[in-house]
Amino acid sequence: MRPIQARISIGAMAHNLRVARSHAGTARVFAVVKANAYGHGLSRARRALAAADGFAVLTLEEAANLRLMGVDQPILLLEGMFGADEIATCADLDLWPVLHHPAHLDWLQQQPPARPLQVFLKFDSGMHRLGFPLADHAAIVARTRSLSAVAGITLMTHFAQADETVGVDWQLHPFLRELSAYGLPWSSANSAALLRYPQTLGAWARPGLMLYGASPFADVSAEQLGLRPAMTLQSEIISVQTLQAGEGVGYGQLFRADRPMRVGVVACGYADGYPRHALTGTPALVDGRLSRTLGRVSMDMLCVDLGECPEAGVGSPVVLWGEGLPVDTVAAAAGTSSYELLCALAARVPVEETD
């Protein structure tokens, strides 16, 4: 059997939820489990994060699966409804859709469900992705309140730079200034805001990345935040090559040795979810020692430097990210984000669940 596997820790996710709760104060917590729980598996996340006050997903299919798994907490649809035909299902499954476009209000007016829905009314405070224009709040709130299809409203926005030094005030202050008079509950905090800006908490926080043990900040590690990695991607060396000075390795010969050296070939490639664009120098743990990748990542293999691992050979374990090697560190070296690495885990990689 090919030696690559991902280990997913239920205990780590549960721990990270406790960290989120410790920052949330009186705010309730939606555990964001979209995209197959950031690659960790929806069923696993449901069990690990069972103590969350609610779950946030992208699609009706994800929400329906959670209900089939026995979830009875609120489920938030982060992108709302994709058609009027989804309204009835929202009512049947007691889902809370995010309303962010006038079409949503039209659909609810034209096809009211059998029972009214709790909704999140999203306003664009500066990210310019989803949301009603903040300047139109009076008309939007008034119309939403008039709909018989709506049982309750929570106001919502999303931050563009909560993980950067510029922070959230440039979005938060206008959002609260314009909407506070309505006396409605509100939600704005993602992982970064939850950890760094307690003024963003509102009634509901929406942590995602931190639940899986990665840091939303470039300057603060997950360990410093008290988080534990939930996913460890690991494999083994399946071949060892010896290069002479001037010889290259892999497609394009992007790496050439400047001295005689040993190279380990690892059973992991971009078809497993490892980034093809990761260049020479991306860290890897070989036999517990910090090493680096060499050359271009192939579909099923990548190469590592064995210069600091003299005893490593065929069968030696290699951690690509996770325990002992933060996914954030690998992502930064590869010029991407931990979100992308975690979500990209391929279906062909066997998964072992741990406590």
- 3-class SS of residue 254: coil
**Helix 102-110 crosses helix 137-146 at what angle (to 10 degrees)?**
20
How far is the C-alpha of 220 from the C-alpha of 214, rounded, in Å? Answer: 10
Q: Do residues 33 and 183 touch, judged by C-beta distance below 8 A?
A: no
Compute the chain's Rg from CA coordinates.
23
CA distances, 88 to each of 30, 147, 161, 178 (Å): 23, 15, 36, 32
Active-site amino acid positions? 34, 251
Residue 91: which residues within 8 A CB-CB, separation 6 or more? 113, 114, 115, 117
- Alpha-helical segments (H) within 25-168: 34-38, 42-48, 60-68, 87-93, 102-110, 137-146
How far is the C-alpha of 117 from the C-alpha of 120, rounded, in Å? Answer: 10
Q: Do residues 34 and 78 touch, judged by C-beta distance below 8 A?
A: yes
Residue 20: which residues within 8 A CB-CB, separation 6 or more? 29, 191, 194, 205, 207, 210, 211
How far is the C-alpha of 203 from the C-alpha of 277, rounded, in Å? Answer: 41
Q: Do residues 194 and 201 touch, judged by C-beta distance below 8 A?
A: yes
Task: Name the strand (E) or helix (H) holding 235.
Answer: strand 231-243
Count of alpha carbons within 13 angstroms of residue 91, beta-carbon side = 15
Q: Do residues 303 and 293 touch, judged by C-beta distance below 8 A?
A: yes
Record the tokens describing residue 14, joined without a space: 């549960």
